[in-house]
Amino acid sequence: MSEIECKKLIIGYNGTPLCEPIDLIVEQGQYLFIIGENGSGKSSFIKTLTGLLPRIDGQITYSIPHQRLGYVSQKHQVYTDFPATSFEVIQSGGLYKLKKSPFYKKEDKKAVRELMASLKISHLAEKSFHHLSGGQKQRVLIARALMTTDRLLILDEPINGLDPTTRREVYDMLKELHQKGITIIMVSHDHEAAYQYGTHILTFESGKYRHMVNENLIEDEKEVVTCRSN
């Protein structure tokens, strides 16, 4: 089953395309790394997927309402000195549950606690977001995205600015989520990690894109992944 399907999708700013038309299907359970130079279109692609950037032309079909995508924005977009506890930050991911009521219900708060326990970050609940380390902040933001979705995470350069050990922790967390069946789409500069963890790799380069199955990974993990690329 496909989570996201792009047909002749043209991405870019102010009507100027950044890349040739993109035809791409992201199937359920894939771990797609998007790599490429700065300005090649990888971040624009993800912003178009999430609806932050209007598409120039083409079609995107989602398996879920696009407001239910679990999005982790780039670090500099997030207010890192924000005076809120991790619990409050994660809870804000469940905003769609509120509907007409202005307050969260007991079961909404319980869902936050359960999610934090499953991600082993319960100890951070009452800690102020701006006192967390870079890696802890990233885990809290991933948890917030998981309040919105239980199937599709989209991350924009989540490991930027993190030291190697912390990067490892974030990758491990994502790997665990992927093993639980969550589809992951991630923009990254980290080519090594792309080939280590990704089931699929999408590369943007000089106005062209290439979508491929990560053969190494399939060989290593004996995983069968169906892929329909252009």
Partner 1 sequence: MNQIVSSLIEAFQYQFIIKALLVGSLIAFSSSVMGIFLVLKKFSMIGDGLAHVSFATVAIALLFNASPLIVSIPVVILASFLILKLNEKAGLHGDAAIGLVSSFSVAFGVLLASMSNGFNVDLFSYLFGSILIISDIDLIFSLILSIVVVIGLLLFYNALFAVTHDEEFAEVIGIDVKLMNRVIAVLTSITIVLGIRVVGTMLISSMIIFPTVTALQLSRSFKQTIVIAVAISIFCVIAGVLASFVFNLPSGATIVMLNAFFFAIFFVIKRIGGQS
Place of tokens 């989602």: 62
Residue number, 155 or 217, with CB nearest to partner 1: 155
Q: Which stretch binds partner 1 (CB under 8 A): 27-35, 98-106, 112-120, 167-175?
A: 98-106
Residue by residue, DSSP assigns 96-156 as GGGTT-SS--HHHHHHHHHHHHHTT-GGGTTSBGGGS-HHHHHHHHHHHHHHH-SSEEEEE
SS3 176: helix
d(CA 173, CA 189): 18
Q: Choose between 22 and 145: whose C-beta lies nearer to partner 1.
A: 145
If one asks whether residue 83 binds partner 1 (CB under 8 A), the answer comes out as yes
CB of 45 to partner 1, least distance (A): 15
Establish if 82 lies at the interface with partner 1 (CB under 8 A). Answer: yes
Question: Which residue type, as a one-letter code, is found at position 198?
Answer: G
Q: Does 122 bind partner 1 (CB under 8 A)?
A: no
**Residues of span 157-176 touching partner 1 by CB under 8 A:** none
Angle value at C-alpha 193, between 13 and 144, nearest 5 degrees: 65
CB 58 within 8 A of CB 20: no
Here's the x/- map for partner 1, 51-70, by CB under 8 A: it reads as: xx-------------xxxx-
Q: Which residues pair with 209 in a beta bridge?
A: 204
Residue 84 interacts with partner 1 (CB under 8 A): yes or no = yes
Q: How far is the CB of 77 from partner 1 (least distance, A)?
A: 5
DSSP bridge partners of 34? 187, 202
Residues in the site for partner 1, rule: CB under 8 A? 50-52, 66-69, 71-74, 77-79, 82-85, 88-89, 92-93, 95-96, 98, 102-104, 126-128, 131, 144-145, 148
